[in-house]
Amino acid sequence: MADASTHPFSLGREGGRDGRFHRQVSAFRDRPRAIEAGRYVLYVCRACPWAHRAIIARRLLGLEDAIAMAEVDPIRDERGWAFTGGPYSDPFNGWSFLSEAYEATDRRFEGRFSVPVLWDTQERRIVNNESGDVLRILNDDFRPLATTPVDLYPADLREEVEALEERLYETVNNGVYKAGFATTQEAYEEAVGPLFETLDWLEDRLSRQRYLADPERITGADWRLFTTLVRFDAVYYLHFKCNRDRIVDLPNLWGYLRDLYQQPGIADTVDLDAIKAHYYGTHPSIDPLGIVPIGPRIDFWAPHSRAALGAAAV
């Protein structure tokens, strides 16, 4: 890890000596002590796919009145995520940088300051900074405050959903990062191969069923895949060199992506301008000029015929 900053294409502390990208393990993995409306704040960046999952869960579960949310600026420098004013302000703690949350929780914290962060305003600490946990916390622990019947982890599907999530994390959600931040041809190929193998597998699976774990029900696994797919053609294809296919070239995945995008409450959680500004503007090791490309034009509102698959057998 220590050598990464001296590498000519420095990736910061996540770049490894071996040319491979290693995502740091999240440091704070607790559950909330008590479930109370108005007590917790979710710190997010709209550009970030991991934070995006949490934004979607909060919306779908109807927790927006119970859990406050604040956004960091999608453009990040070496000081980490910042509150730069306007929509990117922190009315809850008045912080200028998200690092202040990490320092308040653990003065000796030495890792990267990542989003999402679930912050407890009473204990003044980060409860959890791992998006997979945050989804379960919102779905399970905050259930008494949820205002919709949405269940992202129904008991009868949980095992299947978790197995899907694991495969998708390794090869797709984190797979695009491993491809994009690889600093050797070998490391790139090690990531991009399994990425497209999984996309091929998904393309086939989604030809027979509407959603990943169940013909009718959208689960956490679908939303976790969604936040990567919705960024794919605009960012990962070009910026992370994941260019064997675009999602729009894979008819089942493309229909599935539109289906999810068109679900009530989802489209306005997707901010492609912020997404593009973040990725193209924040990774000088792979895109030193920071120029944000013009396209692509993607019509996420184009009709799809996925509903017909809903009743089909798994």
Ligand X SMILES: N[C@@H](CCC(=O)N[C@@H](CS)C(=O)NCC(=O)O)C(=O)O
Q: Which residues bind ligand X (CB under 6 A)?
A: 23, 26, 48, 50, 80, 112-116, 130-132
Q: Which residues pair with 13 in a beta bridge?
A: 11
Task: Tell me the pairing of strands 40-44 and 117-120.
Answer: antiparallel
Catalytic residue among 43, 45, 48, 280: 48
Nearer to ligand X, 48 or 247 (CB): 48
Q: Is 177 a catalytic residue?
A: yes
Q: Which residues pair with 120 in a beta bridge?
A: 40, 125
DSSP conformation letters of 50-78: HHHHHHHHHHHTT-TTTSEEEE--S--BT
Residues in CB range of 287: below 8 A, 6 or more apart? 239, 279, 280
**E strand map for the chain:** 40-44, 68-71, 117-120, 125-128
Closest by CA to 164, choosing from 222, 218, 206, is 222
> Tokens standing for 269?
């959680």
Instruction: Tell me how far, at minimum, the Cβ of 169 lies from ligand X, in Å.
Output: 8
Nearer to ligand X, 32 or 80 (CB): 80
Nearer to ligand X, 104 or 248 (CB): 104
The number of residues in the chain equals 314
Nearer to ligand X, 113 or 237 (CB): 113
Instruction: Tell me how far, at minimum, the Cβ of 64 lies from ligand X, in Å.
Output: 20
Which residue in the shown chain puts its C-beta closest to ligand X? 114
Euclidean distance between CA atoms 245 and 199, whole angstroms? 10
Closest by CA to 304, choosing from 269, 253, 268, is 253
CB neighbours of residue 24 within 10 Å: 11
Nearer to ligand X, 127 or 250 (CB): 127
Q: Is 188 a catalytic residue?
A: no
Closest by CA to 130, choosing from 21, 191, 53, 63, is 53
Catalytic residue among 43, 102, 177, 261: 177
Instruction: Tell me how far, at minimum, the Cβ of 61 lies from ligand X, in Å.
Output: 18
Instruction: Tell me how far, at minimum, the Cβ of 21 lies from ligand X, in Å.
Output: 11
Instruction: Tell me how far, at minimum, the Cβ of 178 lies from ligand X, in Å.
Output: 13
Euclidean distance between CA atoms 43 and 88, whole angstroms? 10
Contact 92, 70 (CB under 8 A): yes
Instruction: Tell me how far, at minimum, the Cβ of 291 lies from ligand X, in Å.
Output: 20
Nearer to ligand X, 2 or 308 (CB): 2
Euclidean distance between CA atoms 286 and 49, whole angstroms? 19
Instruction: Tell me the catalytic residues.
Output: 48, 177
